[in-house]
Every structure is written in structure tokens, then in C-alpha cells.
């Protein structure tokens, strides 16, 4: 067994895998959110941006492959780690009130799968179009407005992105710990960075369905 | 004051075990939690029942023998103490108290509240030391160490090996325990030569035991009677990643 | 019984190095074939097992705790002495030796104590190399403090957890040897008897505390490092599991017991709060630097301390010892506290306590200074008592803490049974009638790391040891005896719990064989102990079974041995017609109430040999010869 295989076989290695894939996915989520802000600049600008992304199919699929691979690795590692941890306490406590377990940490285990389901829905809704009421290929602006004009869908987007923000917050903070980026002087920086980016991405993403729903963007 | 205790009773590892309920009258607020159990045990013996087995020794919070869950919290809700240092004045008349052993696959129950923590020893055997032959050390002052480093190392060296971290971790992980030892020795100049090998061996030994993974819940840190920081876990992660990815150092030196 | 201390010749300072030049050595190939049994994994036992493992011996180490890391050495707070003279304040090996001899009130063996001081420096070197985070100065070099009234700063410390850190260091070295395959550790295994074959110690009989299995383990030598017997007093600062069984069983197999009456009672402990009390917690003696000890002048004064006016308080230490005041030595402070309480002037629950008042110091220096000096101790006090010592005076009372007596050993640390070595608090060797602060850790590690690895080799190289197996007739018969004893304890099924009998024994011992002793009291105590022993064997109730984890059974066996030891302690205290160190006989005091030694008749070690069966023990003496120091009478007035 090679050393890297031994490393990846360990829970610590798997956590590093989750951290590394998490960073890549985080980069994507950040870029995705920032790009989508162009919705406020009108249909032309957003559709042009979408066109730009689609321009080089080879590159597009290369990026998609990387993202898909990261998602897969992230999920597989998460499931493995979760199964191991579940097995570590076969008999549950009758009363269990561990202090200081923060909300985000506790929700990782189900925020992950819910976000995964949401991503599938999101792709079917706005990329493939099969879950969309009135999908027009190439008219991203229209597709977004049409989708978010349905209050239920808009709420799903809001809720999922709230979860995503929690997931990112804990994930970001955790990855510093997992990578071992820990210095007493930077302790508060880690927390601040995690909060900042989680809020930024959450707010950026949630703002869009809310803007559509309230008619700010139409 | 009066208390109602729900205590996990299990005759041996094979027994299924169950909760038993005991009503206590006249509990003095000055008693320690273990003294309260002593009094109950004296009554049980007088009634011809078997007393509750629980581990304890120094009863001053340093040996690390004692420990069980008190109302769902390892060593009870008072921060920074072991259960032998928990006093009954923190309870109210009429309280119901649930007492459960540490529950983790890596800590099988031996009897009642007594669990087998030998997994910790096996991890320590793997690398929890600096190899130094007795009598071979240089003068103690040969290597100056900054107070900052030595105090930081001491923060981790205080670990008493009680197992509360594992018991409180929703994942049943031993990261705080192992991280504390790796951080303690890794912060000192004497610990550098074996730093990589130590991290590798101790983490591998930990993985061989049935402990869970770290999800950064930080419950371990919150219940640790010595208030050891999870920054030790970060140090362990770093040391382990470096050595595990780099592999062992290639043999150097001339062939003869 | 022939007592030969085998002290090497030559000048005091050269004895140890000369001996090392002459000691027989065991070849590496032969070390592999030698198996050594170590009982106890505290500082002495853990260090010995590790050091012998390094040498290549096959070592098996036993402890009753669930891990070798938990022995009671872990609870030592203050520090460890060494004659490093890092402070440039005039310390030397000789001074450390002299202070230890004087502290022991000239009742210890010169050569042993000198050797202890001599190896003290190597201990610090080794511990630092092991990664023990001793406190340091800002320049990065080791810090020291003055401890227990020493005039030099020679105490090394790691916060208030020096014992813990030293033990974890020994445990780490032990782990390295476990990893190397040289040492096997058997936790949760209690030694219940010694196996002596052809006059040599060849093994131990143990009980597996989980399965109840009684087994015989044989070896070429047996090392006992099983600590002291302060738990004979029931309430002590020792861990609940500390017990005399290992050395008592060895005594009954022929190892002589020296100075059993020498016990140390620590003055600054938190008093008993009620009948349910299970142990006493020690607070650092340093508290007496700023606290003033007092009790009400009037007998039976039950007012709150704040309601007692200055004029009605008796600051008795300041009154009796104007020059030393509250800083008198441990035994003097302890004895006077007991006296005040015996007069009916004690305070707190049960009236067994005296005040240690910081009001003056807080007024003079400010609360922040006191908090900086003693904050953690004050917090501990508040955690245990629920009282805020910044507002109301602390209450303290003495508690048994350490036993200087133990199995008799020669200069090689070998008992009167060849092949049986005794290390650390379990032996009698270095502290005489009283132990200095920060010397216990030093002795344990000296014995384990730096003495036994040499002297054991001499024994093994010189002894013709036949191969024996665990199936040897003697092993089988000792196993049968142990099993019969266990069965007997379980069969009594009387009406009294082990703890109730132990508590009764403890109260009796504390009253009659504690801080101060009298001939009539001791004589009466011996009778009471005998009848208590009869009650134990006829009326104790040990529930449960033998083939199981049975904590009551464990306790019962230990208390049975404490009940026998207690009588020997009283006998020893009764025959020592003098006061010295921790042994204070009320009949022997100066007009000023000071301990009065009788150097003419008692410059010796009292060594007891088991009489066999129910016969009384036989008394022997080893004369102490002072070639270098000259005993002086101390005075703290």
C-alpha cells in the first residue's frame, strides 16, 4: 500500500480530501454567486455571460468533470467518515447533552444530503430544464425569473441556500482545523473568515429569489 | 436533599444491562458526587444488593480514573472538573439524575459504570514517548525552551486520559486525547526527532481502534476536565498529513 | 535475623561511584534471559520497569489501576528537588544530602541519602529529555523555587502538577519499552502474595481484578514499588486504592519491616465535612506564607469567624513560636492543630479544623496579589467547601500524607529476602522520621532510574537461580492460599461493610498513632485493633463473587492487611521511647513542647520480622552510624 493510499484510508486523510474538494467547490460556489449577481444588470448582460460560459464546450465539460469529481469524492468521504463514526457508538446514550456542539456542526450530516438533492433539482431546473415550467434554452434570465416567480420554488432556493451557508460556515472553519492551519493568533481570523464567506455566499444567493419574488427583478 | 438516580447497571460485558432507579433521602450538599454514590453503595450492601461499580482513585481530579455521564454530560455540567470534584451543591432537592457509563465501541463496558479504556494505552504504546535511554541525557539546561512553548506544551501535557472527550464526542472520536499528546511532545525541541514518526504511529494506532472521526463538534474541548484545546487536533492533523503524504524519509548516508 | 546494610566503604562522597566500579554486570545475552517482576507503576516502579526494559531484561509490570499512568505519584503537586545549583545560591549535593538527613531528624542511613542527592541531578536531565515541561525562566532555562522552608531554590516544578508530569514521563518511557517488546504491562492486576522458593523471591501471585483469576507469575527477581500505607488512617490524602497489601504480604513471607510508625501528617488539608467523607484533599503548604492560623480562645465558641473579635482569637502558632510563627515545620503545625481541637477549640463541622486566615494579607497586599499567588488553591477550596476564602477564613486540618516507614532494604535496595527489591515510598530508606517537601518524587525516580538498574545486576550476576515455572509446588500452594483467603472473605457475610470497619480503624489510628502518641494510648489501641480485626473476620460483609470485578472484595483484602499493619505501627510507636520527626510521643518532649530525641538509645532503625502464624513479630535494630553529620536538636522558637 502506497503512503498516499494509507493516508486516504485514514479518517484524517478523508477529512483532508473533504477539505480539499470543499475548497474547490467553495471556489465554484463563490464564482457562481458572483456571476449570478449580473441578474441585476438585466437580461442581456446575464444571457451574454451565460453564452460566454458555454462558448468553449471542451473547457466547460472539463470544469464540470472536475466539479462532479469533487462532489463525488466529497460525498463518498463524508459517507465513509459518517459510517465509521456511527459505528463508534453502537449503543446510544439515554440522555446525551454534549455542550458546545454548535448548530452548524450538528447539521452537517443532513445539510449535506439535502444540499446534494437541491443541486440535482437546481440542475434539472435551470441547466437541463426538465424540471422547469417554461424552459427556453439560452435565455437564462427568463428561466430564472420564471422559476423564481413560483413562490414554492423560490422558498426552496432560499431554504437550501440557508443550509448551504451553514454548511459552508462549518466546512470553512473545519477545514482550517483539518488542514492544521492553527495559530493562537489566527484563531479569531478563522472564525471570521468562515462567517464572512458563509454570509456573503448565503446572502448573495438568497437575494436573487427574494428579488424575483418581491418584483425587484422582473 | 432528596434525589432520584437512574443508574446504568450491567453485571458484565455480556449482560444486556438496564437502568435501575434509586431514591436517596438526606443527601448533604457538601458531599462530592462519588461520596453520594459511596453512601448509596453502603445502603445497597446493607440491603444485600451489589454496590454500583464505578472507577475512582485519587478523588482529586488528577489520576483520570473516574468518569461517567451525569445527565448526559461527561463529568457533569460543571466545567473543568472530573466527576470526583463535582459537588452535590450543584444539584437541587428533588432532582432526577441519570448516570451512564462512557459509551463507545472502543471503550467496552466491564461492569456498571466501569469501562475498558485500554485503547488509550495501546495508542500511547505506539508512539506516545520520546526515546531516550536512561542516563544518556545532556544537562537539563543544555536546550533552552521559550516559556511560551513550554507553557503551551504544558497545556496539552495536562491531559489525564479520562476518556471524557471520547464519551462526549457525538462521533466517539479520540482526537483530543491523541492530539494533546502529539501537540505536547511536538511543541518541545526534544520531541522533534520523532515528531513525524510519532504522529504517524499514534494516528495509525488510533485508527486501528474503534474510534470515530472528527467533525469539529468541539464537545470534547467543552467537557475536558483539563480544558485542553482542540488546537491540539489541528497540530495532529498537520503533523500526520505531512508525514503520511511525504512517506518515510529516504535513507541517507553513504553505503559502505 | 542478620541485618547487613552492605554500605560500601570509603568516604561518603565516593561510596556510590566506587561501588559502581565494582558491581558485577550481566551480559546483554543473559539479560534477555532474565525476567523481572515489577509491582506498581508509579514513579519508582514505572521508572524501574522502563530502565530495566532498556537494558534488555524481560520485564512484567503489574498495577491495580486500569492504566500504568494512574498511580498515585500523579497527585504530587509541589515539585522535585535536585542539587543543580542553577540558581547560583550555594546549593551542593552535600547540602541536599544534609537537609534531607536533618529533615529526617537523623533517623536515616547516611550513605543512602547521600546517593539520593548525588543522582538527583541526573533525574532532572533525564526528565527534561523525556519532554517534561518543567517551568522555565524567560531566557528559556529551568526555573526553581524554594520549597518547604529550604534556604536554597532547588525545586523543579511543572505548574502544580509535577508528579503528574513526572509520572507521564515514566509512563512514556515504559510505553517505549512496551513498543520495543521488552516490557509487558498488566493493569487491573493486584499482587496478593509473594512467592519465595529456596529462600529467594521468585514470583508473585496476583488476582486479575476483572476476571478474578488468581495466577502465579515467576521471575528471577521481584521489585515492589507499591507506595505507602497512609490509608491505614482511612481518611488520608492518598488515592482510595493505595494499600499496604504487597509489602505486608512480603513481610509475612519474611521481608523485614522498618520503622512502621514513621508517618507524615500534612498540616494544610481541607477538613472533613461529614461522616460520608471519603478522602482528604491537600492544599499546598505555601498557603502558610500568607495565611494566619487561629482558633477561638474560648472552648466551644461556635460564632462565625467574622463575629469573633481580634482579642478573642488565639493565633497559637505565632504565640508559641514567635520566630517561625505560621511557618513552623509540618509536624509542629499539625500537632498544634490537633491540640487546639482536642481542647475543644476546633472550628467547622465536627469541630476538627482551624482557621487559616488571609484577611490581613488581603488587607496588606490587596486581593489581586493573593489571587495571583494562590488563585488556583483558593478556587479548589471553594469548589470543595462551597466557601469563598477571600471572604471567610479557610479551614484546615492535618491529614496523613506519606509514610516514611516501609520494608527494610540494604544499600542495594534489597529486602531481607534475597531477590526481593523494594523501591520508592514502599521502602524505608531515605527519609528517616520525616520527609522533606519535594523529596518523594526525587526518591522514587532515583530508585527506579538510577539505582536499581545497577544493583539488580549485581544480584542477578551473583545468584544461582534454578529455572522455575508457574506450576512449581510453592506457586501452587501460594495460589491456593490466596484463593482460600478470597473465599473466606466472601463467605463471612456478616453485618458490617468494609468501609465502616476501615473508618473505625482509621479514627482509632489517627487518635492514638497519628500526630501525637502516648504509651497508654498505644497500648489500648493495640487491644482495640485486635478486637476490630476479630470483628472484621467474623462480621464483615463482602457482597458479590470472586470471579468478577468486585470492588468490595478488593477493599476487603486491603483492609484486612491494614488491620494487621496497624498493630505493628502501634507496637513500633510504643517501643520508640523518644520523639523524632513525624513520631511524637507526648512523654518525650522538651519543656517547650518540642520533640525530644533520645540519640543515646534510638539512633537506629527498628526492624520487625514476622513472627510466623499468630506469634508476635520479632524486633531487631540496625544502628545508624553518622560518620559525616552530627545530629543536632532542632528548635523553632
Q: Indicate if B202 and B156 belong to the same structural domain.
A: yes
Query: Has residue C634 got a pLDDT over 80?
Result: no
What does the alpha-carbon distance between residue C620 and residue A34 come to, in Å, rounded to a whole number?
Answer: 92
> What DSSP line would sit under B179-223, residue for residue?
HHHHHHHHTSGGGSTTHHHHHHHHHHHHHHTT--------HHHHH
What pLDDT score was predicted for residue A5?
Answer: 64
CA-nearest residue to C186 within chain B is B118
pLDDT tens readout for residues C98-135: 999 999 999 999 999 999 999 999 999 999 999 999 99
Structural domain spans, chain A: 3-213
Over the range C130-145, which residues count as b (16 or more CB within 10 Å of their CB) and which as e? Answer: bbbbbbbeeebebbbb
CATH number of the CATH domain containing B187: 1.10.1060.10
Q: Does B213 sit within 8 Å of A84, measured CB to CB?
A: yes
Q: Does A6 sit within 8 Å of B105, measured CB to CB?
A: no
Contacts of B185 in chain C (CB under 8 A): 131
Q: Strand C263-269 relative to strand C80-81: parallel, antiparallel, unpaired?
A: unpaired
What pLDDT score was predicted for residue A1?
Answer: 41
Beta-bridged to residue B9, according to DSSP, are B18
Contacts of B35 in chain C (CB under 8 A): 276-278
Q: Does A88 sit within 8 Å of B222, measured CB to CB?
A: no
Beta-bridged to residue B70, according to DSSP, are B73, B99
Contacts of B15 in chain C (CB under 8 A): none
CA dihedral C490, C493, C498, C502 (to 10 degrees): -110
CB atoms within 10 A of CB A70: 21
pLDDT tens readout for residues B138-173: 999 999 999 999 999 999 999 999 999 999 999 999
Q: Strand C221-224 relative to strand C35-39: parallel, antiparallel, unpaired?
A: parallel
Nearest to C119 by CA among C453, C455, C445: C445
Contacts of B248 in chain A (CB under 8 A): 3
Query: Has residue B251 got a pLDDT over 60?
Result: no
Within-domain flag for B251: no
Q: Choose, out of B200, B216, B235, the residue to mutate when testing the contact with A (most A CBs < 10 Å).
A: B216
Number of CB pairs < 8 Å for A and B?
Answer: 160
CA-nearest residue to A181 within chain B is B234
CB of A76 within 8 Å of a chain B CB? The answer is no
What pLDDT score was predicted for residue A2?
Answer: 47
Q: Choose, out of B70, B186, B217, the residue to mutate when testing the contact with A (most A CBs < 10 Å).
A: B217
Mean pLDDT, chain C, rounded, equals: 95
What pLDDT score was predicted for residue B246?
Answer: 82
Domain range for B142: 117-246
What does the alpha-carbon distance between residue C513 and residue C571 come to, in Å, rounded to a whole number?
Answer: 10
Contacts of C69 in chain B (CB under 8 A): 64, 121, 124, 161
**DSSP character at residue B63:** S
Which residue segments constitute the domains of chain C, with CATH numbers given? 266-399 (3.90.700.10), 473-602 (1.20.58.100)
Nearest to A177 by CA among B61, C572, B175: B175
Q: Which segments of C350-507 are extended strands (E)?
A: 354-357, 394-403, 406-407, 420-422
Within the 16-35 window of chain B, which residues sit less than 8 Å (CB to CB) from chain C?
28-32, 34-35
Contact partners of C by the rule of 3+ C-beta pairs under 8 A? Answer: B
pLDDT tens readout for residues C37-80: 999 999 999 999 999 999 999 999 999 999 999 999 999 988 99
> What's the longest Cα–Cα distance across chain B?
80
For B103, the closest of A4, A84, A93 (CB atoms) is A93
Q: Does C69 sit within 8 Å of B64, measured CB to CB?
A: yes
Nearest to C525 by CA among C498, C539, C504, C500: C504
Cell of A57: 464546450
CB of B103 within 8 Å of a chain C CB? The answer is no
| Long-range contacts of A3-9, Cβ-Cβ distance < 8 Å, separation of 24 or more | A3/B244, A3/B245, A3/B246, A3/B247, A3/B248, A4/B244, A4/B245, A6/B204, A6/B244, A7/B241, A7/B244, A7/B245
What does the alpha-carbon distance between residue C143 and residue C122 come to, in Å, rounded to a whole number?
Answer: 17
Mean pLDDT, chain A, rounded, equals: 92
Within the 172-191 window of chain B, which residues sit less than 8 Å (CB to CB) from chain C?
184-185, 188, 190-191
pLDDT tens readout for residues B195-211: 999 999 999 999 999 99
Q: Does C136 sit within 8 Å of B150, measured CB to CB?
A: yes
Within-domain flag for B253: no
The second-level CATH assignment, the architecture, of A3-213 is Up-down Bundle (1.20)
CATH number of the CATH domain containing B22: 3.10.20.30
Domain end (from B100, B131, B146) = B100
User: Inter-axis angle of helices B118-127 and C162-179, to 10 degrees?
Assistant: 70
| Half-sphere CA count of C554, side-chain side, radius 13 A | 25
CA distances from C556 to C192, C414, C490, C492, C546 (A): 12, 29, 9, 11, 12
Determine what percent of chain B falls in helix, strand and coil, rounding each to the nearest 5.
Answer: 40, 15, 50
| A/C touch flag: 3 or more CB pairs below 8 Å | no
Query: Has residue C309 got a pLDDT over 70?
Result: yes
- Whether the CB-CB separation of B41 and B52 falls below 8 Å is answered with yes
When pLDDT is cut at 50, 70 and 90, the band that residue A4 belongs to is low
Contacts of B139 in chain C (CB under 8 A): 125
Within-domain flag for B252: no
pLDDT tens readout for residues A59-99: 999 999 999 999 999 999 999 999 999 999 999 999 999 98
How close B106 gets to chain A, by Cα (Å)?
7
Which SS3 state, helix, strand or coil, does residue A35 take?
A: helix
What pLDDT score was predicted for residue B254?
Answer: 60
Contacts of C171 in chain B (CB under 8 A): 124
Within-domain flag for B218: yes
The residue ranking higher by pLDDT, C481 or C160, is: C481
Task: Give how many domains chain B has, as a whole number.
Answer: 2
Domain end (from B100, B133, B168) = B100
Within-domain flag for B255: no
- Whether the CB-CB separation of C351 and C341 falls below 8 Å is answered with yes
- Whether the CB-CB separation of C36 and C26 falls below 8 Å is answered with no
Query: Lowest-confidence range among B215-224, C317-326, C549-558, C562-571?
Result: C317-326
When pLDDT is cut at 50, 70 and 90, the band that residue A185 belongs to is confident
> What's the longest Cα–Cα distance across chain C?
76
Q: Indicate if B122 and B94 belong to the same structural domain.
A: no
Amino acid at each position: 500500500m502506497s503512503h498516499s493510499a494509507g493516508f486516504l484510508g485514514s479518517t484524517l486523510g478523508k477529512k483532508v480530501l473533504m477539505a480539499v474538494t470543499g475548497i474547490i467547490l467553495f471556489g465554484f460556489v463563490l464564482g457562481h454567486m458572483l456571476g449570478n449577481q449580473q441578474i441585476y444588470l438585466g437580461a442581456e448582460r446575464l444571457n451574454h455571460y451565460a453564452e460566454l460560459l458555454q462558448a468553449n464546450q471542451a473547457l466547460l465539460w472539463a470544469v464540470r468533470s472536475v466539479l462532479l469529481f469533487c462532489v463525488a469524492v466529497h460525498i463518498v468521504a463524508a459517507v465513509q467518515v459518517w459510517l465509521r463514526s456511527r459505528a463508534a457508538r453502537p449503543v446510544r446514550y439515554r440522555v446525551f447533552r454534549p455542550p458546545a456542539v454548535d448548530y452548524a456542526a450538528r447539521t452537517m450530516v443532513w445539510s449535506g444530503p439535502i444540499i446534494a438533492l437541491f443541486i440535482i433539482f437546481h440542475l434539472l431546473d435551470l441547466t437541463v430544464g426538465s424540471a422547469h415550467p417554461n424552459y427556453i434554452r439560452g435565455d437564462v434570465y427568463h428561466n430564472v425569473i420564471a422559476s423564481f416567480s413560483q413562490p414554492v420554488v423560490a422558498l426552496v432556493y432560499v431554504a437550501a441556500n440557508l443550509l448551504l451557508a451553514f454548511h459552508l460556515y462549518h466546512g470553512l472553519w473545519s477545514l482550517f482545523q483539518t488542514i492544521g492551519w492553527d495559530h493562537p493568533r489566527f484563531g479569531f481570523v478563522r472564525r471570521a473568515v468562515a462567517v464572512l464567506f458563509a454570509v456573503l455566499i448565503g446572502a448573495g444567493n438568497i437575494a436573487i429569489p427574494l428579488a424575483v419574488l418581491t418584483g425587484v427583478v422582473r | 436533599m432528596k434525589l432520584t438516580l437512574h443508574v446504568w447497571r450491567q453485571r458484565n460485558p455480556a449482560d444486556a444491562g438496564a437502568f435501575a432507579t434509586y431514591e436517596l433521602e438526606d443527601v448533604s450538599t457538601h458531599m462530592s458526587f462519588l461520596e453520594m454514590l459511596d453512601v448509596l453503595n453502603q445502603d445497597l450492601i446493607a440491603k444485600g444488593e451489589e454496590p454500583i461499580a464505578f472507577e475512582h482513585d485519587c478523588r482529586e481530579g488528577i489520576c483520570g480514573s473516574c468518569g461517567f455521564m451525569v445527565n448526559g454530560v461527561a463529568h457533569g455540567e460543571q466545567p473543568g472538573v472530573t466527576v470526583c470534584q463535582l459537588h452535590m451543591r450543584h444539584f437541587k432537592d428533588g432532582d432526577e439524575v441519570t448516570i451512564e457509563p462512557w459509551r463507545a465501541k472502543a471503550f467496552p463496558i466491564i461492569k456498571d459504570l466501569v469501562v475498558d479504556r485500554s485503547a488509550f494505552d495501546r495508542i500511547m504504546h505506539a508512539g506516545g514517548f520520546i526515546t531516550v535511554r536512561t542516563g544518556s541525557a545532556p544537562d537539563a539546561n543544555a536546550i533552552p525552551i521559550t516559556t511560551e512553548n513550554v507553557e503551551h506544551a504544558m497545556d496539552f501535557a495536562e491531559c489525564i486520559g479520562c476518556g471524557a472527550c471520547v464519551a462526549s464526542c457525538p462521533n466517539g472520536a479520540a482526537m483530543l486525547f491523541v492530539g494533546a499528546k502529539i501537540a505536547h511532545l511536538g511543541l518541545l525541541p526534544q520531541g522533534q526527532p520523532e515528531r513525524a514518526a510519532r504522529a504517524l504511529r499514534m494516528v495509525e494506532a488510533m485508527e486501528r481502534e474503534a474510534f470515530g472521526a472528527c467533525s469539529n463538534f468541539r464537545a470534547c474541548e467543552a467537557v475536558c476536565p483539563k480544558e485542553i484545546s482542540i488546537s491540539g487536533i489541528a497540530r495532529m492533523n498537520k503533523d500526520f498529513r505531512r508525514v503520511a503524504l511525504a512517506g518515510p524519509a529516504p535513507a541517507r548516508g553513504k553505503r559502505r | 535475623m542478620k541485618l547487613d546494610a552492605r554500605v560500601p566503604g570509603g568516604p561518603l562522597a565516593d561510596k556510590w561511584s566506587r561501588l559502581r566500579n565494582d558491581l558485577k554486570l550481566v551480559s546483554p545475552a543473559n539479560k534477555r534471559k532474565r525476567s523481572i517482576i515489577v509491582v506498581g507503576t508509579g514513579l519508582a516502579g514505572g521508572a524501574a520497569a522502563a530502565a530495566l526494559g532498556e537494558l534488555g531484561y524481560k520485564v512484567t509490570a503489574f498495577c491495580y489501576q486500569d492504566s500504568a499512568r494512574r498511580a498515585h505519584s500523579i497527585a504530587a503537586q509541589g515539585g522535585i528537588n535536585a542539587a543543580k545549583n542553577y540558581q547560583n545560591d550555594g546549593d551542593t549535593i552535600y547540602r541536599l544530602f544534609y537537609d534531607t538527613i536533618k529533615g529526617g531528624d537523623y533517623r536515616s542511613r547516611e550513605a543512602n541519602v547521600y546517593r539520593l542527592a548525588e543522582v538527583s541531578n541526573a533525574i532532572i536531565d533525564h526528565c527534561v529529555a523525556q519532554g517534561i515541561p518543567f517551568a522555565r525562566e524567560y531566557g528559556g532555562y529551568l526555573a526553581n523555587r524554594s520549597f518547604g522552608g529550604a534556604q536554597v531554590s532547588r525545586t523543579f516544578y511543572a505548574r502544580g502538577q509535577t508528579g503528574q508530569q513526572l509520572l507521564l514521563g515514566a509512563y512514556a518511557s515504559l510505553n517505549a519499552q512496551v513498543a520495543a517488546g521488552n516490557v509487558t504491562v498488566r493493569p487491573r492486576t493486584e499482587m496478593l502474595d509473594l512467592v519465595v522458593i529456596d529462600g529467594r523471591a521468585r514470583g508473585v501471585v496476583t488476582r486479575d481484578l476483572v476476571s478474578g483469576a488468581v495466577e502465579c507469575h515467576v521471575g528471577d527477581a521481584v521489585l515492589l514499588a507499591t507506595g505507602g500505607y497512609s490509608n491505614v488512617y482511612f481518611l488520608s490524602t492518598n488515592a482510595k486504592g493505595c494499600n499496604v497489601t504487597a509489602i505486608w504480604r512480603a513481610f509475612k513471607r519474611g521481608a523485614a519491616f522498618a520503622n512502621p510508625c514513621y508517618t507524615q501528617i500534612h498540616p494544610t488539608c481541607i477538613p472533613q465535612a461529614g461522616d460520608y467523607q471519603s478522602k482528604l484533599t491537600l492544599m499546598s503548604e505555601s498557603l502558610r506564607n500568607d495565611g494566619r492560623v487561629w482558633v477561638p480562645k474560648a472552648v466551644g465558641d461556635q460564632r462565625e469567624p467574622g463575629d469573633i473579635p481580634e482579642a478573642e482569637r488565639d493565633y497559637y502558632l505565632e504565640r508559641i513560636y514567635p520566630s517561625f510563627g505560621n511557618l513552623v515545620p509540618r509536624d509542629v503545625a499539625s500537632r498544634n492543630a490537633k491540640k487546639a481541637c482536642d481542647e475543644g477549640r476546633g472550628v467547622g463541622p465536627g469541630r476538627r479544623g482551624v482557621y487559616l486566615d488571609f484577611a490581613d494579607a488581603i488587607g496588606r497586599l490587596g486581593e489581586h496579589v493573593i489571587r495571583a499567588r494562590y488563585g488556583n488553591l483558593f478556587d479548589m477550596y471553594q469548589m470543595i467547601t462551597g466557601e469563598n476564602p477571600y471572604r471567610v477564613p479557610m479551614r484546615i486540618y492535618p491529614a496523613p500524607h506519606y509514610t516514611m516507614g516501609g520494608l527494610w532494604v540494604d544499600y542495594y535496595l534489597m529486602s531481607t529476602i534475597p531477590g526481593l527489591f523494594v523501591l520508592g515510598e514502599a521502602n524505608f530508606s531515605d527519609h528517616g522520621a520525616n520527609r522533606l517537601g519535594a523529596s518523594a518524587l526525587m526518591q522514587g525516580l532515583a530508585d527506579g532510574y538510577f539505582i536499581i538498574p545497577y544493583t539488580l545486576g549485581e544480584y542477578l550476576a551473583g545468584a544461582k537461580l534454578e529455572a522455575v515455572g508457574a506450576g512449581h509446588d510453592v506457586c501452587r500452594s501460594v495460589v491456593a492460599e490466596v484463593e482460600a483467603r478470597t473465599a473466606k472473605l466472601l463467605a463471612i457475610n456478616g453485618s458490617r461493610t468494609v468501609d465502616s470497619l476501615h473508618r473505625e480503624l482509621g479514627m482509632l489510628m489517627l487518635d492514638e498513632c497519628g500526630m501525637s502518641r502516648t504509651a497508654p494510648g498505644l497500648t489500648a489501641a493495640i487491644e482495640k485493633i485486635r478486637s476490630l480485626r476479630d470483628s472484621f473476620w467474623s462480621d464483615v460483609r463482602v457482597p458479590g463473587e470472586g470471579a468478577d470485578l468486585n470492588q468490595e472484595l478488593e477493599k476487603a483484602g486491603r483492609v484486612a492487611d491494614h488491620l494487621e499493619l496497624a498493630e505493628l505501627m502501634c507496637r513500633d510507636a510504643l517501643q520508640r521511647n523518644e520523639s523524632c520527626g513525624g513520631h511524637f510521643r507526648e512523654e518525650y518532649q522538651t519543656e517547650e513542647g518540642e520533640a525530644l530525641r533520645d540519640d543515646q538509645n534510638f539512633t537506629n532503625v527498628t526492624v520487625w520480622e514476622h513472627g510466623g502464624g499468630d506469634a508476635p513479630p520479632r524486633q531487631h535494630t540496625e544502628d545508624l552510624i553518622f560518620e559525616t553529620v552530627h545530629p543536632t536538636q532542632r528548635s523553632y522558637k
